[in-house]
Structure 1
Amino acid sequence: MPRIRLYTLLIAAIALVSIPSTQSTNSVIYERRVILYSTGLILLEDRISGLTESDKPFTLRFPRNITDNLLDYKAETADGLNLNVNVVKLTENEAVVEVISPVSSHLRLLFLVDGSTLIGQTDLFTLYIPVYPGLNMDIARLNFTLTVLEAAEFKDYPSDFNKSAGKLWLLCENLEPEAFRVERISITGSPLIKVEEFIKTITISEPGDVVVEEFYRILNMGSSTSQVVFNLPADACEADAKDEFGKLQSSSNTEGDALKLTVKPRYELRKGDRYSLTISYKFPAGLLVEHSLFKESHKLNMELGSALPIVTRSLHVDLKLPSYSTIVDVKPENYTVNDNTLNWILETNGYIPVLSPIRPPPTLTLNYKYNVLWSSLKPVLWALCGLAAVATIYYVHKTRILKTTEAVSKAKPSAAAKGISEFISAYEEKLNLRIELRDLESNYLAGNMSRAEYSTRSTKIKNRIAEIDKTIENLKPTIRLAGFSNEVTAIEEAETDLSICDVGLSELRNRYRTGKVSKHVYERLLNEYNKRIRSNENRIRRAVETISSS
């Protein structure tokens, strides 16, 4: 009897061991990559493999400072199928992200965060990064990587992390369900260029070159920097940059599948500085568009992306066509036309931004007609008609013109000499008055003069300058007839730039007084304006000396 009982227990034990366990034997591999972009955006890219049908749906956990600043997010399978994602606030400090019905063993999750909201008043940039994802299932292996700019330096990070140039990483195994870990990581020496305005202008030239200009108004929210790096298409050429004062120093080189353009602003950008600049690059004829001699129909397909990683819910695009072009069809369709220029304001649809680093940019598709031969001949035909009309008028009025010319020639010597003398005297007085006005303003700004006295004396000088300007305008035709047309044109160009400088200086002082411009930016721009003023005044003096010496 004991032997029978022993056999019974042995058989029962073998049966229990042989029954397959219902416990999940998950072998999920989780890779989380975190990238800090130069524009202050933070990208969390999760790749999950080893999922099974029994794993759907699944959830992740995030700190609230991440989910509250989400700019864009999506989940997709290895085949590119988009999945539904819900973000649910769990507690005051945490949120849950639920991915519904994954139908693939391999998934990719992308979360784009506005990192500029996490930056303090110091140069230290502190991130609270979720290292363990809080996945509601076992994780066999986790690979975490944080990548920052080359110029950045890790100031504070967990002791179990590995570090190399611009990178932190961690490998973990056998994480339990809901394993969640958030770490504080501090970074210094990283410029963060926030883009406040972006405008894209595309110009198709007559030979078929496609020239792209991108205007940026930026704000430096990180450490001081003397350069801004843009990533252009690899097949672009003749990359350049400029600001309101002219061309900027830049260099370009090809790295991988992009052309890297490094631009040096006119002055070092410190934390809180705003700056506006325009970059330009070209796709040579035949690459995107080809205008052959006998081909009339043309097509342009072009992505409307940005050379800096940005997220925007509104995008301004201008497209300039060659003269005598005819539009057949365009997508996007909501455009306006003004003098061969198409204008778009592309806006977001729902929560998805117009531009985002985790989505393909919108595409411009244009079909148009342009005949190189006819477009070249048409201006020539108009010119020939104009020449014929001028020739007819010339021969009809030949006698009258000759008599008028002779009369002017006889009166020229005496009238020209007197006019030249008055013109020179007027300009010498005007230049001296401008110097006197600047000295007056300097004394007032230094506190050496009352506001009432400054107002009275400056008004008197400005009124006198206005009287001189009238005299100069009346004398210009006489000076031109005396053979100094080039000198008068040079003076007019210099005067125009002086007027622009005067307006710019006034605006600069107003912005400085109201605190919209820092002191070092004010001093740099003031120096630029003063250089332009001195250059233009010297140009006027040289022209006046040329007139007086002949």
Structure 2
Amino acid sequence: MKKSAWAASAVLVIAVVMSLSSTAGLRVAAAASDYNIDRVDHTVNVLSNGYILINDTIVTSTPASGSFLIGFPYKYGLQTLRCMAYDASDRSTVFPVTLNFPLENHVGFYGVKVDLPDGAPQAFTVEFVLSNLLLTQDSQNATVFTLDFPAYPSLTKAVVLLKGLVRPPSGAEYIKGTVDNFTYTADNLAAFSYNVSQVTFGLTENNVQLFEINQLDRQITINQFGDIQVSDSYYVTNDAQNSAMSVDVILPPNSTVPTAKDQFGRPTQILLIDSPPIRYRVNLTLPAEPGKSSQFTVVYGLDKNVYSKSQNEPDKFAYEIPQFRDITYYVDQVSVALSMPEGARLLARPVTGFYSVCKGTFADAVTIRKQGFVSLDSFPVEIELGYNPLWTAFRPTLWVWSIALVGCAVFIVSRRRKAPVTVAVPSRVARPTPDNLRRFVESYEEKMKILTEIDALEVRVQKGKIPRRRYKVQKRTLEMRVEALSRNLGELKESMRSAGGHYADLMRQLEVAESEISDVEANIRNIEARQNRGEVTLELYRNRMEEYRRRKEKSETTINGILLRLREETR
């Protein structure tokens, strides 16, 4: 009996404690949610490469500490590339976010949880970047675009006043849409509002180019005289329906004498389009077909009188160079590499956050890498160097000693009696004729075009745009043409292989690139089949597809370069 009484007492005590704890938790939760949303400023920015930057600045009646939920229809979640939250008055004060978080018990939404600390500001901003798949270019009129966007966010509380703004590139004119204009308002917006909107606008100039900047590598070089030279290397993919003949880029203020070159180092045309910001148009050597990639580099100088800072000591030099402050596009990955003159030492941290330093024999080099970049992420690079001007004589002195040593060696060798040397004259190898080279290039380009048509045919039949019987007939016709071209190309390849020299080397490079493309396509089919069966996660599938896409584009770039070299030899 005593044991039973003790057990009953213990159960009663535990129940009372749990009840008190849950009551306290409910009070804390109620205190955390005891606020009203007075205002939301919802700004939708259309970037120049078609990506969408959404800023929601939320003003509450009292500080909203704890978890704050915000979202929009789930279709936009599939296009979300990144999200961050920060103090509306201080972007450096960042709050943790959790993506794809349930919006309480409501379905059909893509939610984001923002963890606000105690004493959080009453005004904070949640920022989203969405892909350029939401911006559609009219197939009949390339200057007309339609934007698919959420006109307001989905919140767990009602909003007293919402002010919306769609901000397209400069010069845009409103045509039509589910909102009356680029600016709109909503009073007493209900909680868990669900909105999908469209707006169509026209451009008088080519201010929107649908392309993806996969990588932007910036190399900043400071020489022994303090001059600054910058090299920006772009790796872009054309996301438009038509071929891209040029790409617009933004250069920093006070940049001088810009030049451009393609991936093979050949100069290409660069034209000033607008200022400010300083926008240049780089003409591509070869048009970038839809879905294809291109590479180019822009080289320019920076005025050292603008970016340098005065120092009291003669052997110290300092520079402050803002990075990507005026860009109007979204970049997947950016890197900034700093190269300093020989003998220079880095005296202070060049940037807040993570960076890597490579200690060289004569100088240090710094590399900074960031992912998912827009102009709001701009950061200054502050370089403080210790440098002895005597290092300017290092290279000239080294060259003088090298020339002197070589001269002594030549003098000693020349005084010896030379034995007659028999030189073997290689037999002359028949060089491919310009006609054969032209036939090879034209046949190969025709083969690539037919393979592209086969891929497009596969897409059309999957979407049900053509009957399957017609698809089989067209595909068989195209395959027969590919087989005939492959036989001719095999004979021409063999003749160039037998010619030896750089022709044989080019054929080896071509075969390696073709083999790489075949392997990548097999891997793509395999990962797509596994993803359809649910054997791999969506994140792994996307990462693998991105890796395969880059490998394929690299091989295609190699093939295009080989064809371009052979075409130039026919002239």
Amino acid aligned to 1:533: E
Please tell me whether residue 130 in structure 1 is matched to residue 145 in structure 2: no
Structure 1 counterpart of 2:275: 255
| Residue matched to 2:42 | 32
The one-letter amino acid paired with 2:214 is E
Indicate whether 1:93 and 2:108 are aligned: yes
8 Å contact kept, 1:203–1:212: yes
Alignment partners' CA distance in 1, 2:56 and 2:88: 12
Map of 2:570 onto structure 1: 534
Q: Residue type matched to 1:46 in 2? A: D
Which of residues 206, 209, 221 is equivalent to 1:191?
A: 209
| CA-CA distance at 1:35 after TM superposition | 0.8
Q: Quick one: structure 1 residues 504 and 286, their matched pair in 2 at CA, closer, same or farther if it must change by over 3 Å?
A: farther
Whether 1:334 and 2:356 are equivalent positions in the alignment is yes
Partner residue, 2:193:
180
- Per the alignment, in what secondary structure is the counterpart of residue 342 of structure 2? coil
In the alignment, is the contact (CA less than 8 A) between 1:78 and 1:104 conserved in 2? no
Look up the match of 1:42: 52
Give the residue type in structure 2 aligned to 1:127: D
Residue 376 (1) aligns with residue 403 (2)? no
For residue 528 of structure 1, what is the amino acid of its counterpart? L
Partner of 1:53: 62
2:231 to 200, 210, 213: 213
**Cα 1:388–1:508 shift into 2, 3 Å:** closer
Q: Deviations over 1:283-341 (max 9, x none)?
A: 1333334899x9322234444548563355x6544322223434445545632245657
User: Taking structure 1 as reference, are residues 46 and 502 closer, same or farther at Cα in structure 2, changes over 3 Å only?
Assistant: same
Kindly state the Cα deviation for residue 77 of structure 1 after the two structures are TM-superposed. Answer: 3.6
Matches of 2:241 and 2:485, distance apart in 1: 41
Compute the TM-score of the two structures, normalised by the length of structure 2: 0.61
Give the secondary structure class of the aligned counterpart of 1:208: coil
Residue aligning to 2:528: none
- Name the residue aligned to 1:325: 344
CA distance in 2, matches of 1:201, 1:369: 20
- The one-letter code matched in structure 2 to 1:336 is C
- 2:47·2:328 contact (CA, 8 Å) conserved in 1? no
Hey, what's the Cα distance between the residues in 2 that align with 1:267 and 1:449? 23
Amino acid at match of 2:57: R
- The normalised TM-score by structure 1 is 0.63
* Cα contact 2:37–2:58 (8 A) shared by 1: no
Q: Structure 2: which 5+ residue stretches go unaligned?
A: 1-33, 140-144, 203-207, 448-480, 522-551
Secondary structure of the 1:287 match is helix
Q: Does 1:266 align with 2:285?
A: yes
Judge conservation of contact 2:317–2:386 (CA < 8 Å) in 1: yes
Question: What is the aligned partner in structure 1 of residue 469 from structure 2?
Answer: none
Q: For the residues of structure 2 that align with 1:32 and 1:440, how far apart are their CA atoms?
A: 57
Aligned to 2:185: 171
Q: Given the alignment of the two structures, is residue 144 of structure 1 paired with residue 188 of structure 2, yes or no?
A: no
Identical counterparts, % of pairs: 14
User: Map of 1:358-437 to 2, 5 A cutoff?
Assistant: 359-372=376-389, 374-386=390-402, 400=415, 426=428, 430-431=430-431
Q: RMSD of aligned C-alpha atoms?
A: 5.0
CA distances 1:214-256 after superposition (whole Å, capped 9, x unpaired): 2221112234343322222212222332212422222235634
Give the deviation of 1:177 after TM superposition: 4.2
| Partners of 1:521 and 1:266 in 2: CA distance | 13
Q: Deviations over 1:415-440 (max 9, x none)?
A: 99xx9xx79x93xx533578668768
Deviation of 1:29 after TM superposition, in Å, equals 4.2
Alpha-carbon offset, residue 74 of structure 1: 0.9
Equivalent residue for 1:548?
none
Describe the shift of the 1:528–1:397 C-alpha distance in structure 2 as closer, same or farther (beyond 3 A).
closer
Distance 1:105 1:384 in 2: 66
Inter-CA distance 52–310: structure 2 relative to 1 (3 Å threshold): same
Q: Does 1:113 align with 2:129?
A: yes
Distance in 2 of aligned mates of 1:54 and 1:448: 73
Once residues 405 and 113 of structure 2 are traced to their aligned partners in structure 1, the CA distance between those partners, rounded to angstroms, is 78
Q: After the TM superposition, which residues 234-249 of structure 1 pair with which residues of structure 2 at under 5 Å, given as runs?
A: 234-245=253-264, 246-249=266-269
Determine which of 79, 83, 86 is the counterpart of 1:72.
83
Counterpart AA for 2:157: N
Tell me if the contact between 1:501 and 1:533 (Cα under 8 Å) persists in the aligned partners: no
User: Which of 211-220 and 267-276 deviates more?
Assistant: 267-276
For the 8 Å contact 1:210–1:289, the answer to whether it is kept is no
Specify the alignment match of 1:277 in structure 2: 296
For the structure 1 residues 147 and 442, does the alpha-carbon distance in structure 2 shift closer, same or farther, using more than 3 Å as the test?
closer
Shift of the 461–305 alpha-carbon distance from structure 1 to 2, 3 Å rule, reads closer
Q: What secondary structure, in the 3-state scheme, does the structure 2 residue paired with 1:53 have?
A: coil
Cα deviation for residue 448 of structure 1 reads: 6.7
Equivalent pairs counted in the alignment come to 446
Counterpart mapping for 1:284-303 below 5 A: 284-289=303-308, 295-303=314-322
**Which deviates further from its counterpart, 499-508 or 243-252?**
499-508
Q: 8 Å contact 1:60–1:136 — kept in the other structure?
A: no
The CA deviation string for residues 175-204 of structure 1, in whole angstroms up to 9 with x for no partner, is 254272513316588532212233222211
Deviation at 1:34, TM superposition (A): 0.2
Q: Is the 8 A contact 2:253 2:278 kept in 1?
A: yes
**What are the Cα deviations for residues 134-172 of structure 1, in whole angstroms up to 9, with x where unaligned?**
462442x432121234698878621x512xxxxx22234
